[in-house]
Structure formats: C-alpha cells, structure tokens
Structure 1
Amino acid sequence: MTRLSVEMLAADAAEPITSAGDAQLGIAVLAGIAVIVVLITRFKLHAFLALTIGSLALGALAGAPLGKTIVSFTTGLGTTVAGVGVLIALGAILGKLLADSGGADEIVDTILAKAGGRAMPWAMVLIASIIGLPLFFEVGIVLLIPVVLMVAKRGNYSLMRIGIPALAGLSVMHGLIPPHPGPLVAIDAIGANLGVTLALGLVVAIPTVVIAGPLFSKYAARWVDIEAPEGMIPQRATEDLEKRPSFGATVSTVLLPVVLMMTHALVEIVVDDPENPLQRVTAVIGSPLIALLTAVIVGMFTLGRAAGFSKERIGTTVEKSLAPIAGVLLIVGAGGGFKTTLIDIGVGQMILDFSKNWAIPTLLLAWLIAVAIRLATGSATVATISAAGLVAPLAADMGTAEAALLVLAIGAGSLFFSHVNDAGFWLVKEYFGMNVGQTVKTWSVMETIISVVGIVFVLLLSLVL
C-alpha cells in the first residue's frame, strides 16, 4: 500500500472536523461542486483556483473551522503531489524525449508504411495507443493530429475514418491507463494496486478502443464527411535531426515502464509472498517511480543519444518538458486537497452509510458520480480526482481486483460526453476544421461510447473476478 493510501485511510478513521448532520453535509458537497463548476465554466477561472475556492466553500458550508479546512486542503494537496507529482514529471520527460528525438515519427512512419486501405484505421489506433502511453492527452493531440491530417490528405482518406481511431486511442489511454495523472491519483486515493489496475485497464481498454475507434469511425465518417483542412497541415518537426532512433528501440523504451509494472503485478499474483526474493526485487523495479525513472534514463540513450543529441541538448529537452506540466500538477494537487477536505468533514462516511441502503452497485455508483462531475466541469482529471475522493471509503473492504475495477469505473465515467466546457472539445474542433455540431456528432459521441463501453466491461469483469 502506498504512503498516500495509508494517510488517506488514517484520515478516514479520524474524527470529522465538523459536527454537521448528513443533510448539511449533502448541501455543502453540492454547493462546493457547484462553486467549482461555475468558476470553471462561467468565469473561466483556472481549475487550480476553482478547486481551492471550492474546497474552502465546502468546509465553510459544512460548518468546519476555517483553520482546519485550510489544514485539510493543504495536507491533501501535499500528499497528492508527493505521491503523484514525480510520476507526472517523469512521464512528461519521457514524452518530450519521444517527440523531440523523432522517435514518435519513427513509430508513425514505420506502421503507416506497412498499413493501407482498410488497415489504416487500425494502424492509427495502434499508433495513438503506443504514443499515448507516456503522453498527456493534449500533448498527444498536438503530436498526432498533424500526422492524422497528413495521412488523410496523402491517402485520400475520410478525415473521420482516420482521426476518430487516433482520438479513441489517446482518450482511452488517458482515462484508464496509468501513468496518466487521473488514474494515478485514483489509484492512490482508493489504495488500489497499480500493477493490477494497469493489467485490468489494458483488458478493458482493448475492446473499448476497438469499438469506439475503428468501428465507430465508419459511422462518424458518414455523419461528418470532411477533408483535412489545408491550413492545419504543418511541416514535420524533426527535419533538423541528423538521424532518428530505430523503431524497435523507440517502442521498447515506451513500453519499458509498462512491462516492469506488469511484471511486478504478475509475480505478486503468482508468488504471493512479500518475503520472497523475486517478489522483493520486482516490487522495487516495478514501482511506478523506479519504472518510469528507468525508462527516462534509458530513453536518454535510446532516444536522445540515438538522435545525435548532445548532453546539453538532452538537458534542454528535459528542462522544457517540465514547464508545461506546472498547471497539471497544481490542478491534480488541488483536486487532492478537495478530496481530503471531503473526507475530513465526514462526507466519505456519509456516503458509506447511505450506500448500505442503495440497490445500485458500487462500481456503477462511482461511474455515475464521475459522469456527473465530468459533465459539469468538462475536466476528466477533476472528475476522476473528485469521484475518487467521494467513493474512497467504499473501497476499504474491497479486494485487490475490485479496488482496481473501482479505479477503472471512475476513469470510464470521467470521459463521458465531452462538450463545450472541455478544452479538448475545442482543440479537436479547431484541428479538424469542424463546427460545433460536427464536433458533437463525432468527438462527443466517441467519448460517450468509450465511457459506456468501458463501464460495461468493468462490470463484466467484476462478475468473473
């Protein structure tokens, strides 16, 4: 169990910082979330500030002393950043090395050279899924969409037939597969096993991305038949490179942290003895920190040095990779602060008490909560963090597999129906040259399919595990 998980459970066991009744707590939660929603959607306030203000409003409306509310928020912020922040930073470095070295282009060019005709949508899913593993969703879009536009133009393909599979691959990785920020925070908040969550996440992700990607793209291409906009097709970004890393080296580097984490998960299941030397070794090399750090160090050679980068150039690449994630770290941290405030005022216990009389399954409840917050705020990360905080007490008596499925249910709910309050909606709209209606018919529907299919497979797995 991670340090953050232990601290979270300790917080659950502590006395609430307010003596408010369930009715007042319920009103405080709704009002706190409403404050966050209004600040983000109407006043366009940064999510970090909105979450901070919403947490203070939550505590005040619940009757908690301001000093204790501040302590709860800052404690949650600190422990969340401590547990997840380093992993986010390492993922950003790996993604930047992948992009700047030309490794991403090598993956794209190699697969596209071997694909054509009906195989192209499947190739785009594969490209997006591989590249999407270490990249934030927005970075993945910026990296992949120009490639999508070039492929559609050069091969005379329908833009939606090529674009939807790529977007589906990125979105599924973002919502269901660590080391993306949302799943990582949910894993820590719920106390789930990262390796098991990763393994089950891949089981859910594969059929989900197939249905929402290549299969749905057939219908999306009929509904919105457009060509790649000329003004959005840029020049390749790696023309100044002397050489590029090989396809095998690039893919191996990207998949290295996933392999290390899954190896630990498999050994843990097969051996099931914390004192076993093999399990102790894999526990170290398969920990998220060591796995990602190993991939970054390896990537400096297999990606950076292979592209002819000097030591100074690699240092510059690493430095540039960290600046853009400052906002993400603050949002994730503030989301952790909001979550801890929810727990400390006693909301977790309130939901736990109420849920005993609910006929709705816990996994479906977690999905519905994430859906509601996603629709309201437009942020998958905020939805994941907030929903994880609300349902974390329900995971106290869960087994390893069930806790992992709870994380995946939240992740699936966080992707439901992206619309005008989501930055990703406008990013896709502008890159593809669509109007709002066309974006809803394609991107928004695709996100909804991912969410619904994802929870269906999570529920099916819960029946057999």
Structure 2
Amino acid sequence: MSVLVLPMAGADLIEPVAPGWQLITAALSAIALIVVLIMVLKVHPFLALIGGGLTVGVVSGVPIEGVLTSFTTGFGSTAAGVGILIALGAMFAKLLADSGGADQIVDTIVGHASPRMLPWAMALVGAIIGLPMFFEIGLVLLMPVIYLVARRSQLSLVTVGIPALAGLSAMHGLVPPHPGPLVAIDALGADLGTTLAFGVLVAIPTVVVSGPLFGRLAGQWVVVPAPTRFDADAEVVDTGRRRPAFGITMASVLLPVVLMMGKALADIFIEDPTDPTRRVLDVLGAPLVALLIAVVVAMFTLGRGAGFGRAEISKIIEGSLPAIAGILLIVAAGGGFKQVLVDTGIGTMLADWATEANASVLLLAWVLAVLIRLATGSATVATITASSLMVGLVDGLSSGETSLVVLAIGAGSVFFSHVNDAGFWLVKEYFGLSVGQTIKTWSAMETVLSVTGLVMVLLLGLVI
C-alpha cells in the first residue's frame, strides 16, 4: 500500500469555500470550543458537537442557512445509517447479559484455565464480551468476576484485570459494530466487512501485548488485592434460571461477525457481482441485515434458551434502548459536524497539504485522533472529529486502504486515558486505585494498546 496521499486525491472533492488560513481557523476554533464545552463547562457532547458544527460554518463564511442545511443533512444520514446498527447492537448485548449468556462465557473460559493462564483467559473473556457490548457495560459485567478470580488465584487485581480491560478496550476502538468504528466507516466510506476482518486481525496481537504481557508488568508495579467491600457483588448467586449453553451462546455472539466477514470474502474472491452465491452473501452480510438476524436469533437462542417468555424478551429489548439514547445523539451530531467540515472543503485543503508534504495517511489519522482524545477524553468524539478531517485524504484509496485508515483512527482514539475521561474514573473506583496508580496501570495500558494497534496497522499497510 502507498501510505502517501496521491496528487489526484482531491480532484473530485468539494472546493474550499474560503482561504486556507480561514478554514484552519474555523476548524481549530470548533475543536477548541468542543474541548472547552466538554471539559470546562461540562456540557453534554451532543450540544458541544452542534456548537462545533455551527462554528466551523460561520467562521468559514458560509451563510447560516447553508450551515444548518449541512448539519441537519449529516445528522439525519448518520442517524439513519449508524444509529440503527447501534440500536440493534444494544438489543443483542442486553439479551446476552440478561439471559446469563455472558456469565456462561466467563465461567466456561475462566473455569478451564490454570492459574498461570488466567490472565490470558481474562483477555479472551474481555475480547468476547467486548465484541457486542459497550466498554462501560462490559466493565460493570466483568468486575465481579475479576474480583473473584483475583481472590481465588491470589494474584494482584491489576494482573487479572488489565488483560480483561485490554480485550474490552480493543474491541471498543477497533472492531465494529461499536459506535466509534461505525462512525469512521460511515464517514470515510469504508467497507464494514473488510474493516471488521482487519480489525479482528489487528486486535488479536494488540490485546496480547497490552493485556497479558503488559498486565504482568503492571501487576508488579501496582499490587492491589481484590477489595473485600465488593464481596457480595463477586459471589455467584443462583437465581434458579437456566443459562443458555456455552456453544449456543458463542454461536450467537459470532453469528453477525461471520455473516459480515462472509460478505467481505465473497467480494474479494467472487469477482462476478451477479453470481448467486455472492448476491446471497452480500445481502446476509449487509450490516443491517446481519445484526437484525443476530437479534432475532438471539431472542430464541438466548432469550428462550434462558427460559424467558415473549413478554420478558420484549421487555429486555425495550430496556436496551434508553441506555444508548445519549450515544445515538452524540453519534448523529458528530455526523452533522462532519458534514459541515466536508461542505466547507477543509478535507480537500488538508488533502492537498498532505500531498505536498508526502505525509503518511495512516500516521496522520492516528495523530489527529490522539490529539483530540487527549483534549476531550472521549474516544467517540476523537473518532468523529478525526474521521471528519480525514474525508478528503481517503479519496482514491482502495477499500482495504480506507479500512486501515479507520483502524488507525480507532487506535488513536484510545490513547492515554486520563482525568478527563469517564472511563479513567470508572476504572479507578472499581479497582480501588489512587490517581497515580490508575495512570501507571490503566492509562499506560491504553497507551500500549494504541501504539501497538498503530504498529499493526502500519505493518498491514505494507502488504494491503
């Protein structure tokens, strides 16, 4: 792969509406406003992104009517595309958690691991649970298990917990259908199946390095026993309800992954678009269809498998949506912000500058995401903003190359979680750490994960 922006890349892009200095001022002003609103004034990111979008347009000299049109167009298209996928993913995750399927995965994998292999087992559990679930939900779900495993194995809570967190975080940043990767895929026009395949390929070595391997070092730096105040949470409570079998649960979790990857493979190996096999796989592997099938199947394999009736399954599905309302609004507002940036021609200008400087597209994507992540503390905001700025630089790249740009942004979006990140405080409180200990463990792990992810993306870029 050529990691340089080709001179022809900006040929068909929107022409800048103002001089370069004015567009840069507009972009920097918008990003600064978003940072101040989120960090200093504690404004919800949804409102901050609206303010950022309006700032870009106004400072660029676009009439306010045009700015509003661009923003609402981007908002609507993103909500219609990415929003549906996030909602379906939340439904599946809720079924997995409430049915006991997630507990079944954890107990089966951890129960068969030797003490020496426990960190590796926890990394595997974190990755599997993190595949369909948001990071915060996965963390809350896994913490009782982390406490229990740490006590029984007499290992540091950090040694056991860091691998699980690495698995969760890598899936969150690199693998769709999580909101961050979905937003970048939508903004850059990447193929979801290809990005999913590459994401899993990048995530495996990344989790190994930042999870069990780094966790062993972090566990020596910070030795923390499992907090006794959480004993009640860590004990397994027998509710009398049966769990779905491990094999059925794993098949349900991996079903949408297999369908989407099947589409990607068919597009690569079956050249004739009219071939019946390819047409079937293209339909089944479309993200909306794959996740819809997964939810319907999970209603039977997980819902009915756990003994839930139709009314209980309906209640679980309904209960999955309120928790993601904020995420949906943030993602849709990010789509509006992106569209304003695109329509002002900032992407075209950056593409031209990167061409002249012979800048690496992958490295630039990662750096942009890192800077915004450090400033805002939000991986989702970092992904939205960085992918918006990169739109003009992927024009002319192949499908595989565009997917690698998505993954570079995803890797950068999880760099060095610190005090402006809600996840930082969640980990600190659950693990009973000081701020310094959290930086030496959680923040360092996120940095290792981000850098390792970038290295793997660059290595893939040499052969894609």
Common fold by TM > 0.5: yes
- The CA distance in 2 between the partners of 1:260 and 1:159, in whole Å, is 37
Give the equivalent residue in structure 2 for 1:186: 184
- The CA distance in 2 between the partners of 1:236 and 1:283, in whole Å, is 45
User: 214, 217, 222: which is aligned to 1:216?
Assistant: 214
Give the equivalent residue in structure 2 for 1:4: none
Give the equivalent residue in structure 1 for 2:448: 449
* Correspondence 1:190-209 to 2 at 5 A: 190-209=188-207
Q: Deviations over 1:39-65 (max 9, x none)?
A: 101111111011111111221211211
The change in CA–CA distance for 1:168 and 1:235 in structure 2 (over 3 A counts) is closer
Equivalent position SS for 1:26: helix
Equivalent position SS for 2:201: helix
User: How many Å apart are 1:303 and its aligned residue?
Assistant: 0.6
Give the equivalent residue in structure 2 for 1:3: none
Q: Deviations over 1:120-154 (max 9, x none)?
A: 00100111111111101111111112211121122
Whether the 8 Å contact between 1:241 and 1:308 is mirrored in structure 2 is: no
Give the equivalent residue in structure 2 for 1:81: 79
The change in CA–CA distance for 1:235 and 1:159 in structure 2 (over 3 A counts) is closer
* Correspondence 1:383-402 to 2 at 5 A: 383-402=382-401
- The CA distance in 1 between the partners of 2:279 and 2:345, in whole Å, is 37
The change in CA–CA distance for 1:69 and 1:331 in structure 2 (over 3 A counts) is same
User: How many Å apart are 1:70 and its aligned residue?
Assistant: 1.2
Q: Deviations over 1:162-199 (max 9, x none)?
A: 10000000000000000001101111111111111111
User: How many Å apart are 1:237 and its aligned residue?
Assistant: 7.9
The change in CA–CA distance for 1:241 and 1:264 in structure 2 (over 3 A counts) is farther
- The CA distance in 1 between the partners of 2:236 and 2:151, in whole Å, is 18
Give, as a single letter, the amino acid of the residue that structure 1 aligns with 2:264.
A
User: How many Å apart are 1:360 and its aligned residue?
Assistant: 2.4
User: How many Å apart are 1:240 and its aligned residue?
Assistant: 2.7
RMSD: 1.5
- The CA distance in 2 between the partners of 1:419 and 1:85, in whole Å, is 28
Give the equivalent residue in structure 2 for 1:141: 139
Q: Does 1:39 align with 2:37?
A: yes
- The CA distance in 1 between the partners of 2:225 and 2:48, in whole Å, is 39
Equivalent position SS for 2:397: coil
Give the equivalent residue in structure 2 for 1:171: 169
User: How many Å apart are 1:73 and its aligned residue?
Assistant: 1.0
Give, as a single letter, the amino acid of the residue that structure 2 aligns with 1:214.
P
Give, as a single letter, the amino acid of the residue that structure 1 aligns with 2:280.
V
User: How many Å apart are 1:14 and its aligned residue?
Assistant: 4.7
Give the equivalent residue in structure 2 for 1:263: 262
The change in CA–CA distance for 1:229 and 1:236 in structure 2 (over 3 A counts) is closer
Whether the 8 Å contact between 1:417 and 1:444 is mirrored in structure 2 is: yes
Equivalent position SS for 2:18: coil
Give the equivalent residue in structure 2 for 1:107: 105
- The CA distance in 1 between the partners of 2:91 and 2:33, in whole Å, is 34
Give the equivalent residue in structure 1 for 2:94: 96
Give, as a single letter, the amino acid of the residue that structure 2 aligns with 1:422.
D
* Correspondence 1:265-280 to 2 at 5 A: 265-280=264-279
The change in CA–CA distance for 1:185 and 1:135 in structure 2 (over 3 A counts) is same
Give the equivalent residue in structure 1 for 2:5: none
Give, as a single letter, the amino acid of the residue that structure 2 aligns with 1:226.
V
* Correspondence 1:278-427 to 2 at 5 A: 278-427=277-426
User: How many Å apart are 1:277 and its aligned residue?
Assistant: 0.8
Large movers: runs of 4+ above 6 Å: none
Give the equivalent residue in structure 2 for 1:155: 153
Give, as a single letter, the amino acid of the residue that structure 2 aligns with 1:337.
G
- The CA distance in 2 between the partners of 1:252 and 1:296, in whole Å, is 12
Q: Which runs of 5+ in 2 are unaligned?
A: 1-8
Whether the 8 Å contact between 1:132 and 1:140 is mirrored in structure 2 is: yes
Q: Deviations over 1:383-427 (max 9, x none)?
A: 111111111111110011111111111100101101011111011
User: How many Å apart are 1:15 and its aligned residue?
Assistant: 5.4
Give the equivalent residue in structure 1 for 2:6: none
**Percent of counterpart pairs with the same letter?**
59
Give the equivalent residue in structure 2 for 1:131: 129
- The CA distance in 1 between the partners of 2:393 and 2:359, in whole Å, is 13
- The CA distance in 1 between the partners of 2:272 and 2:146, in whole Å, is 47
The change in CA–CA distance for 1:114 and 1:262 in structure 2 (over 3 A counts) is same
Whether the 8 Å contact between 2:163 and 2:215 is mirrored in structure 1 is: yes
Give, as a single letter, the amino acid of the residue that structure 2 aligns with 1:326.
A
Give, as a single letter, the amino acid of the residue that structure 2 aligns with 1:461.
L
* Correspondence 1:39-78 to 2 at 5 A: 39-78=37-76
Give the equivalent residue in structure 1 for 2:18: 20
Give the equivalent residue in structure 1 for 2:120: 122
Whether the 8 Å contact between 1:172 and 1:450 is mirrored in structure 2 is: yes
Give, as a single letter, the amino acid of the residue that structure 1 aligns with 2:70.
S
Give the equivalent residue in structure 2 for 1:254: 253
- The CA distance in 2 between the partners of 1:333 and 1:339, in whole Å, is 10
- The CA distance in 1 between the partners of 2:237 and 2:98, in whole Å, is 7
Equivalent position SS for 1:464: coil
Give the equivalent residue in structure 2 for 1:6: none
User: How many Å apart are 1:236 and its aligned residue?
Assistant: 5.8
Q: TM-score, normalised by structure 1?
A: 0.95
Whether the 8 Å contact between 2:377 and 2:420 is mirrored in structure 1 is: yes
Give, as a single letter, the amino acid of the residue that structure 1 aligns with 2:358.
A
- The CA distance in 1 between the partners of 2:250 and 2:95, in whole Å, is 13
Whether the 8 Å contact between 1:102 and 1:238 is mirrored in structure 2 is: no
Q: TM-score, normalised by structure 2?
A: 0.96
Whether the 8 Å contact between 1:208 and 1:454 is mirrored in structure 2 is: yes
User: How many Å apart are 1:235 and its aligned residue?
Assistant: 5.3
User: 227, 230, 235: which is aligned to 2:228?
Assistant: 230
Give, as a single letter, the amino acid of the residue that structure 1 aligns with 2:40.
R
Q: Deviations over 1:310-351 (max 9, x none)?
A: 111001100110110000000001111111111111111110
User: How many Å apart are 1:29 and its aligned residue?
Assistant: 0.5
Whether the 8 Å contact between 2:194 and 2:400 is mirrored in structure 1 is: yes
- The CA distance in 2 between the partners of 1:99 and 1:56, in whole Å, is 40
Q: Which runs of 5+ in 1 are unaligned?
A: 1-8
